[in-house]
Amino acid sequence: MTKPNLKIKKRIIFLMFLFFISSVALVVRLGNIQIIEGEAYKKEAFSQWSRDITINASRGTIYDSKGKKLAVSIKSDTVVCFPRDVMKSIKTVEVEEKSDQNSFIFNFLNMFRRGENDNPMDLDNDLSANEGGPIPNKTPDEIADILAGILEMDREEIYEMITGDTDYVTIKRWVSVKQAEEVKAANLSGISVIEDNQRIYPYDNFASHILGFTNIDQAGMYGIESTYNGYLTGEPGRRIVNTDGNGIELPFDGFEQYYAPVDGLNVVLTIDEVIQHFAENAVEKAYYDNNAKSATMIIMNPNNGDILAMASRPSYDPNNPRLPYDETMKNEWSGLSGQDLQNEWYDLWRNISVNDIYEPGSTFKLLTTAIALEENKASMNSTYFCDGYVDDIITETPIKCWRYYNPHGLQTLAEALQNSCNDALADIGLAIGKETFYKYNKALGFGQRTNIALNGEAFGIVNSPETMRDVNLVTQAFGQGISVTPIQLVTAVGSLSNGGNLIKPRLVKQLVDNGGNIVHENPVEIVRKVFSEETSNNMMEIMESVVSQGAGISAYLPGYSVGGKTGTAQKVVNGKYSEELYVTSFIATAPTLDPEIVVLLIIDEPKDSYYGSVIAAPVVGAVIDETLKYMNVQPVYTKDEIIKLEKSYVIVPNVIGLSLKDASYELDRIGLKHNITLDNEEDILVKDQYPKEGIEVIKGSVITIMLN
């Protein structure tokens, strides 16, 4: 073999060896790609030509006890961005600048696959066309300009969002139909319009402290929206679609995977929308009439613990929770920003009925009296002498009765409550003793949460026997030196009205699905038996006498045997009781013969009169009158009431469908009043009324009108 042939042979062998090694390496590499890393590459490829869009589940509806919608979710469009696809558009624009150089080659090759009558120059259109025409390739700057114009947003803000280092970003939620259509028509790389859910509260600031609100991501922030967020939220779905090289959806390529969301459960509350409106109107009146810091009302059914209404002022609109409640608040907030403004929001969102504590004042005397009766430390025949001062306790500042300048003298137990006598209640407190008083405080739920279905419930403050001195025992007996929440006091007084049972307050009745099926029901829960039937009945008798003969007379309602107690407590400022700042309250139950409701009104820091008998009792009386009539509770009159009212009855006319002006005239003509005051009474029609047509009522009664 000649040397040249040998060299050639060696070269061939070497080349074959290289080819073999390369082939083996290629096979190994292909095997690695297809078998070992195949799934990963498949996912990567899939992610480049597809888009995975989250579909939010519809948040559950919140209903009142009669099925009226208080919080609902509606379908609304949201504009979102996939920044990775936006950045593709930069490369696409660069490639398009070079594409003209290759167009001749593409057209030449296309001649061999097209018919002789076809235009070879149509290939460019075929390569770049979809069903909607040529794909517009825009730079991020151009996309930001277009979106800013459509969505009425800051252009720089949009640019930062669409070029950010994230896979997915929401540009603007809940856009108008017109805006959604314009964004779709713009056909922008990486930009999609998706179906979203928007939370709506149809009654605006109605029951806002119960309902709470949701954030931009539809997560509950306060109220029932927060505590039941897990049930209301549901499970999100997914929509997977193909995209082209520019990140634009291909709606007609036949590929789409859809995983339906699972809607959240619906929450049925115990509150009644009509009774809640009574409470809302009452606290509005109390708040503004007294130029108060706040006003709060709770209405509860003592027989099952159901909260029928819970309202506070100032309030907020859950649709726009960061807006001030009124012009006064708007002016107060005008110079605030940052943390100072946030603190004002937090205060506005607090539910006073549950989150705040206060000294109950004389309303607590009801419980002191009930404890004494239950423990046989007092009886219905007991008497007490008031000389204006508590003589049994010597303190630096004398403890005196509110009417120390004209003492009550000798009085029965019922008269002591009618007179709200501190001297008598101090004697009763000392007779009860520290250990027993503390035991009943705990039994009544003070110093502990009621576990109502709302976040942030306060515990209250109760002195233990070890830390309680005689002076603490005496002041606690008439409602100072102990701090409670409004919901604790209503629950405790409820036990006096229902035969002695402490019942857990119930705000959520049940959870139901969209088919109306009950998924879960919260049962009535009797926490414990605190008082006997005898004590309960005696307390109803005493409370009724306070209203019919004592300080609560302005809450008196013929036929409804209202029982109650006023309260006026000095506020503590810098460790001392203020002579200027008060918490005024009135708590009542009705009818005392067969209690249906317990109502508490608290007015914090009224500016003029601060006596509960003057500013709180009349408001509560009016609410009880409206509520019992709405509940169709028939009045039961005493003989004296019948004699007085015999000639005072009128028949309620039908004013439904009339304008407010005409309805006012009809009612006024026969001596009846109504609950609405508006500047323009001609254009608004009456939707409903309570009592209904044909019911016999006393002249001067207030007819509750509901407007369209």
The answer to whether 362 is a known catalytic residue is yes
Question: Which region holds residue 514: left if phi is over 0, alpha if psi is between -120 and 50, else beta?
Answer: alpha
Specify which residues 707 forms β-bridges with. 686
**Residues for the chain: how many in total?**
708
Whether the Cβ atoms of residue 384 and residue 424 lie closer than 8 Å to each other: yes
Q: Rounded CA gap, 6 and 18, in Å?
A: 18
Task: Measure the CA–CA gap between 544 and 538, rounded to whole angstroms.
Answer: 10
Angstrom distances, CA of residue 365 to CA of 75, 432, 438, 567: 53, 13, 15, 9
Contacts of 222 (CB under 8 A, 6+ apart): 209, 212, 213, 349, 351, 455
**H or E element, residue 84:** helix 83-110
Q: Is 615 helix (H, G, I), strand (E, B) or coil?
A: helix
Q: Are residues 276 and 70 in contact, defined by beta-carbon separation less than 8 angstroms?
A: no
- Name residues whose C-beta falls within 8 Å of residue 542's C-beta, 6 or more positions apart in sequence: 366, 369, 413, 414, 417, 563
How many other β-carbons are positioned within 10 Å of the β-carbon of residue 267? 25
Of 362, 420, 495, 497, the active-site residue reads: 362
Q: What is the 3-state secondary structure (H, E, C) of 58-78?
A: CCCCEECCCCCEEEEEEEEEE
The answer to whether residues 500 and 531 touch, using CB atoms and an 8 Å cutoff, is yes
Q: Which amino acid, residue 316?
A: Y
3-state secondary structure (DSSP) of residue 81: strand
CA 386 from centre of chain = 47
How far is the C-alpha of 408 from the C-alpha of 616, rounded, in Å?
A: 23
- Do residues 689 and 702 lie in contact, with contact meaning Cβ atoms separated by under 8 Å? no
Type of residue found at 627:
T
Asked if residues 424 and 479 have their Cβ atoms less than 8 Å apart, the reply is no
Distance, CA of 316 to chain centre? 10
List the catalytic residues: 362
